[in-house]
Amino acid sequence: MRALQVQDHSEKPVFLDRSIPTLAANQILIRTAACALNFADLLMIRGTYQETPALPFTLGMEVAGEVAGLGAEVTGFEIGDRVAGFAGSGGLAEYCPLEATRCLKLTDGMSFDTAASALISYGTSHLALTHRAKLTSADTLLVLGAGGGVGLTAVEIGAALGARVIAVARGPEKLQVCKDRGATITIDSAEEDVVAKVKSLGGVNVVYDPVGGDPFVAALKCCRPEARYLVIGFASGDVPQIKANHLLVKNVDVLGFYWGGYMGFAPQVLLHSLRDVFAMISKGQLNPHIGGSYDFDQALEALADLKARKSIGKLVVRGPV
């Protein structure tokens, strides 16, 4: 099978021919139809992601396709089932082995592109907003980096849960997409004073922050008393330092959130959330935005576009066959 592998953290990934993996007893083999890209893929290439596999490894965290093989102990799946799952790595290949407990069956009406693009981004936002921040329809939600793949899902899920959503992004095109996904108010961070604008609106109860850096400092100033601040990631490359006295004065909760961690210590919480996400998509309450689809041979181009932040929403690489 063909696979896109990282062999050296100082070099670009390369396409290689590899043997189809032998399955463990608890795994299924997915014939890849779609693999969605993530910012974490770029970190893995450099070796800076918190869960970078040992070299060499195949890229690709989110995969969807058909079941092509079953481990000896797997139940509940059959050859030919349409599934999606969180691989962590290995999705940018013709076949991907995956623990059955990481997979969900798909309805016939859901495309592989949609399913692959929904796992981490929608799963992250749904679990963070519902399980950690306990967002309600009475809350005002501030989403930083709202035009990105994860931020846009927070806008959409926040709106679906009935909250007033303030979306912060750069440029009119991204702001329009945020409006289309349910943002009540949009702020162009390249043109407007985010703190002044949000404070004029009365502040916020929940902050969703996949950016870090200076935007973190600004958003913390926008918090109402007893606000919940979700730390999702650091796309800016800058991990901010928190002044504890600021939290004390406003009684603000800062909530760390790492979606993949739940697979280790509370997998059923994560899978329950994903089932809710897929149900909301099937009902039309959520509509994953795919910013670009690429053939397998174009995977390096797709990664370059992701790095250049050219995308609005998710980028998806189709399987090689």
CA dist., res. 141 & res. 165, Å (int): 5
Band of residue 321 on the pLDDT scale cut at 50, 70, 90 = low
My answer on whether 77 and 171 are in the same domain is no
Domain presence at residue 124 = no
CA dist., res. 182 & res. 166, Å (int): 10
Q: How many domains does the chain have?
A: 2
The domain that holds 200 is classified in CATH as: 3.40.50.720
My answer on whether 101 and 144 are in the same domain is no
Domain extent for 180: 137-257
Domain boundary residue, one of 257, 278, 295 = 257
The pLDDT value recorded for residue 263 is: 86
My answer on whether 150 and 220 are in the same domain is yes
143 is written with which tokens?
A: 């989403």
The pLDDT value recorded for residue 313 is: 72
The domain that holds 15 is classified in CATH as: 3.90.180.10
- Average pLDDT over the chain reads 94
Map residue 271 onto helix, strand or coil: helix
pTM of the shown model: 0.86
My answer on whether 307 and 279 are in the same domain is yes
145 is written with which tokens?
A: 């980096």
Asked if pLDDT for residue 149 goes beyond 80, the answer is no
Q: What is the pLDDT of residues 251-267, one digit of tens each?
A: 999 999 999 889 889 98
My answer on whether 172 and 282 are in the same domain is no
Domain presence at residue 70 = yes
My answer on whether 188 and 252 are in the same domain is yes
CA distances, 298 to each of 4, 24, 294 (Å): 11, 31, 6
Domain presence at residue 127 = no
My answer on whether 252 and 278 are in the same domain is no
Asked if pLDDT for residue 51 goes beyond 90, the answer is no
Q: What is the pLDDT of residues 241-252, one digit of tens each?
A: 998 988 999 999
